[in-house]
Amino acid sequence: MGRRTPLFDLHVAGGARIVDFGGWDMPVGYGSQIEEHHAVRRDAGMFDVSHMCTVDLRGAGVRPLLLRLLANDVSRLTQPGKALYSCMLRPDGGVIDDLIACFLDERWFRLVVNAGTTDKDLAWIKEHAKQIGVAVVPRRDLAMIAVQGPNARSKASSVLPEACGAQAAALGAFFAAACDEWFVSRTGYTGEDGYEISLPSESAPELWQAMQGAGIAPCGLGARDTLRLEAGMNLYGNDMDETVSPLESGLGWTVVLEGTRDFIGKEALERQRAAGPARKLVGLLLLERGVLRSHQVVSAGAAGDGEVTSGTFSPTLERSIGLARLPASAAGEVQVDIRGKRMPARIVNPPFVRNGRAMIEL
Amino acid sequence: MSTIPADLRYTKSHEWLRTLPDGSIEIGITDHAQQTLGDLVFVEVPEAGRTLASGGACAVVESVKAASDVYSPIAGTVTAGNERLATEPELVNRDPYGEGWILRLKPVAGGPGPTLLDAAGYGAELAAGG
């Protein structure tokens, strides 16, 4: 038996298929994964993401700590509640994890890190935090529910506690608000508008049921994966890990090399940028019937071979899409080995879908 | 819970078999199999005339989650693949024992062998976690 979130019993009662996800017993879906996917693209859906770990960093040295630990630049976070996406790197530029960092005040930042990497992240952060007296507090007492879709915010606002609802309604994109022990951020992992709501574990079942009553569809990790892939968002462990840098993972836009700020991994990335990264992460659109899956071999002609890192059937585009790590010079059309057959695919720039609309030519 | 019609025979790898009036055999995947796979998005059926060995892969069913081979439990010659599945793979989810059939074949010698399960046997197999 794996670890269970405070919503586990509700998932089982709702008919969920439970699978192991990084040591957690999580719902992969409640019925049709494609219908759950469409609910988020067209209306509103919600996900139990309580397996992800909220980490509070407290102390006067918290901003200098994150300036050093993160490849993105937290000096950009000046307004309380503003958040950014960043990689946390090894000295050699390999990605330890990707995370969201939110600035609350000069003595308090909040991180949300991946479930499967929580232990190593905490060890890494603590090692650097103790030198400058920052307290690292994993918040295992909090659950988290992501509510996503074009109607997610309006439907959710009717069931949020009054004080929270008003603050949430005023949030700009990538902003968060803390109200008592609740924490609402206008972020997500689907390419749609919405909130990620963290709250005390004991309050989570009531919110889940209230949101279901407000017409928000429970969705499993299966739909979450097809949604994030359509949105062109990387999954840690699939699309990047400690053996690749953000520059080789389509995440150059999250790295701030300019200026004198010295973060862990900077030197390695500067060298890589100067030499030109050998590999790149691209989007693929399969041109024939079939489904791209991770680890399929991709032949990019004279440029050499690469590998699909994530692949699926896109319910919105009704075509198979994927992310692949290819030699840097790969371009145009490539061949993917799918169950022994070579199938043509086209390199495209993610995202594939944003706010319900196709972003690539089919 | 998945349904297991009493008039069909089954394999441990979750195919079902129906003997048609002309003696040919219709093959599909069970309700349990389609539930486990989830929404099907792609089905590759064999062409008529293809010769199948007993236990050989004869079709591919691919869902959002995973691809899976379908095995022919008996040797024979394919008389038809369900062409509708090319554009409507969801028929396998919606009606696995009816419109979602995958192929029909003419068995080489006699009917299905003794390795097949009846509905009770297949049900017991599922209950045991097969």
Q: CA–CA separation, A87 vs A337, rounded Å?
A: 31
pLDDT > 70? residue B113: no
Does residue B123 contact residue B97 with C-beta atoms inside 8 Å? no
Does residue B2 contact residue B30 with C-beta atoms inside 8 Å? yes
A293 touches chain B (CB under 8 A): yes
A117 touches chain B (CB under 8 A): no
- The predicted structure's pLDDT at residue B129: 79
Whole-prediction pTM value?
0.94
Both tokens of residue A46? 């919600």
**Chain B residues whose beta carbon lies within 8 Å of the beta carbon of residue A289:** 42, 86
Tell me which residue in A33, A290, A293 faces B39 most closely, judged by beta carbons.
A33
A312 touches chain B (CB under 8 A): yes
CA neighbours closer than 13 Å in the CB half-sphere of residue B128: 8
Could you read off the pLDDT of A293-303 as tens digits, one per residue?
Answer: 999 999 999 99
Q: Which long-range contacts (CB under 8 A, 24 or more apart) does A288-292 make?
A: A288/A343, A288/A344, A289/B42, A289/B86, A290/A320, A290/A338, A290/A339, A290/A341, A290/A343, A290/B42, A290/B62, A291/A320, A291/A338, A291/B41, A291/B42, A291/B62, A291/B67, A292/A320, A292/A321, A292/A322, A292/A324, A292/A336, A292/A338, A292/A345
- The predicted structure's pLDDT at residue B110: 60
Q: Give the residue from A116, A122, A157 showing the smallest Cα distance to A24.
A: A116
Could you read off the pLDDT of B79-112 as tens digits, one per residue?
Answer: 999 999 999 999 999 999 999 999 999 998 765 5
Q: What mean pLDDT comes out for the span A146-175?
A: 95
Question: What is the pLDDT confidence band of residue A18, given thresholds at 50, 70 and 90?
Answer: very high
A294 touches chain B (CB under 8 A): no
Q: Which residue of A has its CA nearest to B64?
A: A313
Pairing of strands A194-200, A217-218: unpaired
**Chain A residues whose beta carbon lies within 8 Å of the beta carbon of residue B62:** 290-291, 313
Mean pLDDT, chain A, whole residue set: 97
**Chain B residues whose beta carbon lies within 8 Å of the beta carbon of residue A222:** 38, 64-65
The share of chain A scoring above pLDDT 70, in percent, equals: 100
N- to C-terminal Cα distance for chain A?
43
Does the ipTM surpass 0.85?
A: no
- Angle of the A118-129 helix axis to the A62-69 helix axis, nearest 10: 120
Could you read off the pLDDT of B49-74 as tens digits, one per residue?
Answer: 999 998 889 999 999 988 999 999 89
CATH topology assigned to domain B9-109: OB fold (Dihydrolipoamide Acetyltransferase, E2P) (2.40.50)
N- to C-terminal Cα distance for chain B?
14
- The predicted structure's pLDDT at residue B112: 55
pLDDT > 90? residue B127: yes
Pick the residue of A293, A313, A343 with the most B CBs within 10 A to test the interface with B by mutation.
Answer: A313
State the SS3 of A86-127: EEEECCCCCEEEEEEEEEEECCEEEEEECCCCHHHHHHHHHH
A310 touches chain B (CB under 8 A): no
Query: What are the domain boundaries of chain B?
Result: 9-109
**Chain B residues whose beta carbon lies within 8 Å of the beta carbon of residue A33:** 38-39, 64-65
Q: What is A213-272 written as a DSSP string?
A: HTTPEE--HHHHHHHHHHTT---BTTTB-TTS-GGGTT-GGG---SSS---TTHHHHHHH
Both tokens of residue B38? 């989830």
Which value, in Å, is the radius of gyration of the alpha carbons in chain B? 13
Pick the residue of B44, B65, B90, B93 with the most A CBs within 10 A to test the interface with A by mutation.
Answer: B65
Q: CA–CA separation, A71 vs A261, rounded Å?
A: 10
What value, to the nearest 5°, has the Cα angle with vertex B2 and ends B1 and B8?
150
Tell me which residue in B62, B65, B93 faces A222 most closely, judged by beta carbons.
B65
**Chain B residues whose beta carbon lies within 8 Å of the beta carbon of residue A226:** 64
Q: What mean pLDDT comes out for the span B5-33?
A: 96
- The predicted structure's pLDDT at residue A163: 85
pLDDT > 60? residue A160: yes
The three-class DSSP label of residue A320 is strand
Tell me which residue in B60, B64, B86 faces A312 most closely, judged by beta carbons.
B64
To which residue do tokens 């759950």 refer?
A: A36
Cross-chain Cβ contact B38/A222 below 8 Å: yes
Could you read off the pLDDT of A209-239 as tens digits, one per residue?
Answer: 999 999 999 999 999 999 999 999 999 999 9
Q: What mean pLDDT comes out for the span A324-332?
A: 97
